[in-house]
Structure 1
């Protein structure tokens, strides 16, 4: 067949370079069958000309063989598809004009789809070719609502890509039909897409021109406000709530409100906006009986929990139990959300005495790991705080029995290495700082034995910081010497403070270094002294940036 003929290399070169003169030499107007030859991808010369933007060449090809306008390649693309993808405006105009003149009894290139179900307009929009999309829409405005195999229309794609002019053109034309099917659409309406892409101008246009979209949902039951909550787009949240306040109370198929979604994703700006407009939305519970506090704990979004604690007053909501009898504090204890649990127990409204359906408090849930040896330093610290809060606030409540420290466990090589490391570091710091006491920066008066720089402020800082470093390290050494007597008690009560004192000792030694260099070097050469101070000052910041809050906890 002609369609399977391999293209002449000369014709391929002419098509890709747009050489009209070569085309006329290669093709006999009386027998243009050579134009039916294709590349291995089944691209014709017209496909190539469209892809490379050679409008004059494409026009000559169509004059010789008009049927090439609807020829498809291996991907199902027509030449108009390729021009739309590549954003070749002049070629697109030519092909659209030819399509308008196409016989009505034949399938029009404007509505032809490729293997993905995309029309040329779909391709133009998803590749951000706004000018080409406008040309296609000028020819046939209704193409803006065609659905591809993913059930997306060009309007949906344009809203996602932020093509304001294209969206305006589509919604400005009158159209009647089934635009959106909530039961089968995975990505929602054009309004959902505009919210996801933070294209606020498009959100405004759609709310004005197509207000019917605001009540529609995606296949999971999420409305546009659910999407705005997910992405924490405060401006979109404000616009949607101003248009339809009831959106804040709509649930998706999991019975989650937009506030639940905001708590799940840690969207603090959305939480603030929702509570400002609809303060009672915090009372809504999902299908498991969980409110936004539960959701923020489960998702581990401590920032969302903090935001809720600051803006929600009723204590009942903080202590609400779900269908399993769990309060947010129970969930934090079960899931080892230590940061969230500490925030909750530090709030006087949270009741640590509540028991779940199994009769467990948050404290008893945490201490289950104590005997198994699975409790890390974070959980040990949390357990201590929960024990303290129970002893302080639960005098008249029936509680699960308080677990005692388990007997000493067998060999724990990792624990041994931790203790050995701390003792080694603390001993080195104590040795160095002790030696620095007798080699004071600036030296001594050989007659009186008094430090020569004793009057200097930097010297006084050196003495204090050096003493702090030495004493802190000595305390660590003595604490860790008795670590072997009861490792579990040591981990709970002393290890964390030993770690913090080691950090303090390191900081004290760092200050000693900077002041000693300043005292001895600055009078002779200033810039090295200032460089040392800059490096020393930035060192704690670098460590904190690398480790975050974990700096104050033991890596155990």
Structure 2
């Protein structure tokens, strides 16, 4: 059906609608004892004339003010509206009006609990013939808002198909569309905002711009609660065709229109769309020097913060002065890139402007300070590998903190480890509070330090870090308890001791029982001189089983006895007991696992594939157990590089992966940064 056919059909339907409506209004006139001409000229095709006549009719019948807006909708009319049958709606409207003695306008002003009118409901359920007739006869409903502040137009804009049908069926009201565009809901969105947010196709959006009839305010001057104008959203959603057409609406001098809300340039940067960025900068050059509302940064700050490499290139080439401009936090663009961990952007800025390495924040922090503070290992490694940046390594900020101090304060163990492996890093340099990095760990580690804090302490101790304040300061993380011999501390360590004691007791019980249930059983032949001996005594796997079982059992017993001493309550004795018990318990678990493997393998050797599978599984898991056990006996504090490598690769790196600290260095930025 073409547009002309649609108009003819709608015209016929509206004449029939108006005839039915006139009959209803005449009945109300006769009941009220008023003599008013209510006939409507059926030949007139002007919607404006229809509206004027209808307003006169309504005023003559019901001159009193309408009732309060929150009158709940009649359920029968509610159902008729949802069904969308026009004839049923008119019949129900007549019935309700007759039964309740209410004028039509009062009934049509009724609302659902959410504040929706009949026009909202018809729009929401897609009954657009009913929408057209309601809008035609009662145009004030077009601008009525519901509880969310949505007009029927905004409601239709939430769905591509609904919006297309809505516009098609009320195209006769085109003169009123501009005013309808300027109504905002509770979120500050106009229908154009909503259509762009819903990401309609370009044809519908183009039609909306045509309905604006060249209005220059709606796309640029109406910002929602988030500070986004329709132009901003169009850029953000990548609607380059719509953006182009919106920009054509601007006058020759764009400064005549004040762009509201957030800068469209920021939208182009965050969308990482170079074409739109160039287009907006060329069309509205005054926005280039507009600061970001959130932090007062330049567009170069914004590009660096989102990792938009091409955007950084664009601004470096055209607006190099941005390099030296601070935001509200005292940060320069290179500091923002360092804070976010964008190594490629940091390299680009330093390649273009090598002196940027000397640029400092308002707190006199260099790029290595920032990367260490926010846990960005990639930037730290890049700086440490480049000899040109050696001057940054031990530089102090306003508080006398070096990058090592800041990484320690924010508990980034991998950053700390990376810095300590650099020979030019001064491990024992003090800040303005007279504290080394190790002092910071031991001062602020807490009574029960987290695993990340322990890893940070190990990294410093392994590199040979020293405290500047000895006797009253701590010489290891566990000795915090010595200085704070509180009830809670004793409870914490008592729980640790009890847990280890339970494990060691279980191991001793299991291995003791295994010693009397040998694989293969015993020799029961009475005439055999080896009566009662194990039948597989000469098998190497059996001998391995017995040796490992014995080691496991005795180690577990020693651990249990050692931990019994720890129950005496002396703090120093607790630490000594745990220090001895932990390695022995590791030996016990390793020996017990080996005994299990040897015993199982011994009794299934005749089935080749199964014995080989069990052997492989056992070797893999024993290797993992060994990797976890070795760090318990390898010294963590040594200046010997061989020992440090062993400590690093067997303990530190493994524990970082196991605890998720590798990811934490990059992810826990906001919570970790001081």
Normalization by structure 1: what TM-score?
Answer: 0.73
Q: Is the 8 A contact 2:206 2:242 kept in 1?
A: yes
The answer (yes or no) to whether the contact 1:334–1:366 under 8 Å persists in 2 is yes
2:523 & 2:515 partners in 1: Cα distance? 15
Shift of 1:287: 1.4
| Deviation digits for residues 249-300 of structure 1 (CA, Å, limit 9, x no counterpart) | 6532112234434554xx44x2333224535445432211123333344445
Contact 1:32/1:64 (<8 A) preserved: no
Q: Does residue 1:238 correspond to 2:321, yes or no?
A: no
- TM-superposed CA distance for 1:422, in Å, is 2.2
Segments of 5+ residues of structure 1 without an aligned counterpart are none
Structure 1 counterpart of 2:392, from 308, 313, 317: 317
Note the 1:471-550 alignment, pairs <5 A: 487=571, 491=575, 499=582, 502=585, 505-506=588-589, 509-510=592-593, 512-514=595-597, 516-521=599-604, 523=606, 549-550=658-659
Does structure 1 residue 425 correspond to structure 2 residue 503? yes
The residue that corresponds to 2:86 in the other structure is 20
Q: CA offset at residue 423 of structure 1?
A: 3.9
1:155 aligns with 2:228: no
Q: Tell me the distance in 2 between the aligned counterparts of 1:276 and 1:474.
A: 63
CA contact (8 A) 1:15 1:45 kept: yes
The 8 Å contact of residues 265 and 280 in structure 2, kept in 1 or not, is answered as no
Distance, in Å, in 2 between the alignment partners of 1:204 and 1:118 is 27
Taking a change above 3 Å as real, the CA distance of residues 374 and 160 of structure 1, as seen in their structure-2 partners, is same
User: Contact conserved, 2:268 with 2:274, CA < 8 A, in 1?
Assistant: no
CA distance 1:498–1:133, change in 2 (3 Å): farther
How big is each residue's C-alpha offset from its partner over 1:461-505, in whole Å with a ceiling of 9 and x where there is no partner? 8789768867876786687677679845975x9957864664565
**SS across alignment from 1:68:** helix
C-alpha displacement of 1:152 = 1.7
Question: Out of 103, 107, 117, which is 1:44 matched to?
Answer: 117
Aligned counterpart, 2:154? 81
Aligned to 1:274: 346
Q: Point out the structure with max Rg over C-alpha.
A: 2
The aligned residue for residue 63 of structure 1 is 136
Residue 206 of structure 1 corresponds to which residue in structure 2? 276
Deviation at 1:128, TM superposition (A): 3.7
CA contact (8 A) 1:6 1:38 kept: yes
Which whole-Å CA distance do the structure 2 matches of 1:189 and 1:50 have between them? 34
The one-character-per-residue Cα deviations of 1:216-254 (angstroms, maximum 9, x if unpaired) are: 4321123455455555x4xxx222122122466653211
The answer on whether the counterparts of 1:36 and 1:44 sit within 8 Å (CA) in structure 2 is yes
Is the 1:49–1:58 contact (alpha carbons within 8 Å) kept by the matching residues of 2?
Answer: yes
- Cα distance in 2 for partners of 1:495, 1:379 equals 20
Q: Distance in 2 between matches of 1:431 and 1:468?
A: 13
Inter-partner Cα distance in structure 1 for 2:357 and 2:127: 60
Q: 1:97 is matched with which residue?
A: 171
Contact kept? 1:47, 1:82, Cα under 8 Å: yes
Maintained 8 Å contact 1:364/1:400: yes
Deviates more, 1:1-10 or 1:326-335: 1-10
Offset, 1:101: 2.8
Matches of 1:167 and 1:485, distance apart in 2: 75
Partner Cα distance (1:375, 1:528) in 2: 45
Q: Is 1:135 matched up with 2:207?
A: yes
> Who is 2:432 aligned against?
357
1:413 corresponds in structure 2 to: 491
Instruction: Give the deviation of 1:329 after TM superposition.
Output: 2.0
Q: Check conservation: 1:429, 1:506, Cα contact below 8 A.
A: yes
- Separation in structure 1 between the aligned mates of residue 620 and residue 305 of structure 2, nearest angstrom: 39
1:347-377 deviation digits (Å, cap 9, x = unpaired): 223111322123332233444469x956677
Q: Mark the CA change 1:283 to 1:359 in structure 2 (over 3 Å): closer, same or farther.
A: same
- Compared with structure 1, are the counterparts of its residues 388 and 89 closer, same or farther at alpha carbon in structure 2 (3 Å cutoff)? closer
Mapping for residues 1-16 of structure 1, pairs under 5 Å: 1-2=65-66, 4=69, 7-16=73-82
- How far 1:335 sits from its partner (Å)? 4.8
Aligned equivalents of 1:445, 1:291: Cα separation in 2: 78
CA distance in 1, matches of 2:302, 2:549: 56
Aligned to 1:117: 188
Q: Number of residue pairs matched?
A: 521
User: Mean alpha-carbon deviation: is it higher for 6-15 or for 431-440?
Assistant: 431-440
Describe the shift of the 1:82–1:525 C-alpha distance in structure 2 as closer, same or farther (beyond 3 A): farther
1:294 is aligned to 369
SS in 2 for 1:244: helix
Summarize the Cα distance change of 1:81–1:353 in structure 2 as closer, same or farther, 3 Å threshold: same
Larger mean CA deviation between 208-217 and 479-488 belongs to: 479-488
Q: Which runs of 5+ in 2 are unaligned?
A: 1-64, 95-102, 525-529, 629-652, 662-674
Q: Contact 1:248–1:278 (CA<8 Å) still a contact in 2?
A: no
Instruction: Select between 505-514 and 62-71 the one with higher mean Cα deviation.
Output: 505-514
Is residue 72–residue 78 contact of structure 1 (8 Å, CA) maintained in 2?
Answer: yes
CA separation of 1:382/1:79 partners in 2, compared to 1, >3 Å: closer, same or farther? closer
**Corresponding residue for 1:170?**
246
Instruction: Write the distance in 2 (CA, Å) between the matches of 1:108 and 1:414.
Output: 69
- The 3 A distance-change label for structure 1 pair 329 and 149 is same
Q: Distance in 1 between matches of 2:597 and 2:192?
A: 67
Residues 394 and 403, structure 2, Cα contact 8 Å, conserved in 1 = yes
Which range is displaced more, 342-351 or 495-504? 495-504
Do the aligned partners of 2:268 and 2:277 also contact (CA within 8 Å) in 1?
no
Conserved 8 A contact 2:442-2:474: no
Q: Does 1:217 align with 2:295?
A: no
Distance 1:312 1:96 in 2: 71
Residue 121 of structure 1: CA displacement? 0.7
Whole-Å separation in 2 of the counterparts to 1:487 and 1:63: 88
Q: CA deviation at 1:139?
A: 2.2
- Residue 303 (structure 1) shift: 6.5
TM-superposed CA distance for 1:322, in Å, is 0.8
- Residues 120 and 155, structure 2, Cα contact 8 Å, conserved in 1: yes
Aligned to 2:157, the other structure's residue is in SS state helix
Asked whether the 8 Å contact 1:221–1:252 carries over to 2, the reply is yes
d(CA) in 2 for partners of 1:347 and 1:513? Answer: 45
CA RMSD of aligned residues (A): 4.9
8 A Cα contact 2:407 2:416, kept in partner = yes
